[in-house]
A and B are shown apart, each in its own frame.
Chain A
Amino acid sequence: MGRSWKFGDDIDTDAIIPGRFLTIYDPKELASHAFEGTRDEFSKEAKSGDVIIAGRNFGCGSSREHAPLALKGAGIGFVVAKSFARIFYRNAINTGVLPIVCEHTDKIPDGSEVSVNLPEAFIEADKKRYPLEPIPEFMMKIVEAGGLVEYAKMRGNK
């Protein structure tokens, strides 16, 4: 269980982590600057188990992997959005912040009590359940391995 952090459409990677912090790569330190200047309370209050709920095209813009890493450092395990920008989607899978498509995010308000049930493919928000779209099969292989690093290690050891 965690709280929902609600965002709108087209949340770009400059908003998630501004360009001036890109020399950092420690997830915790990045997290201390997440959404700086646009949603300052996030870095102070977000905690493990919280979920980001967003509209269309979440993570558009730069290829900076610092964006999912900053969310990971803040304890975010899932981003649930109507759609994702392509590079962010891959980066999020690779770093283990799971991007999940759900067309019902409009119905989930900010600050709801939420939990994601991946095996049964639903998100529960304030006791209501909404279906989630499955992660594409070829991406699931990476998720199941525990991220691309682990996947690469398995391949490297073959």
Chain B
Amino acid sequence: MRSTIRCFLCVSTLIFLLNIATLSAQSLLPEQEGQRARFSAYIEIRDAYLSGGCMLLNDGNLLKGAVFNDFGISYFDFSYHFLKDKVKLHDVQKMMNKWYLKKILKKDLKALIHNMREGLPEYRDEKYRLYFKLTPIPESETEDADIEE
């Protein structure tokens, strides 16, 4: 009887822990085609930083993204091919449009996307001292609503 109860408790605990692991690994990316997601974006570049917003769209084989500052002005757009596991940058703002910066940015965006798939909304590039964080914004907060006085 006691061994049965112990066995039951062990199995229950195992199932519970597996569920926690599954929940915490829930992807932050829009996983279904046509699905969209919005984030507030924060990118630290050594002593400086970029902040603003990020919109993502699952467009079949591609994850498309737009990153822009708080005033809505674009930093860059990007696309990530799910099957090729490759990031492409598009329309990069002049200040960031240097080949060496874009190379690092592509690598780090790929790492960030991998992390977000595992439910982690950030990535730290220790070598070049960059830090990326995308904080999910609930759908309702990006809809038209009056400001509270």
Partners in one complex: no
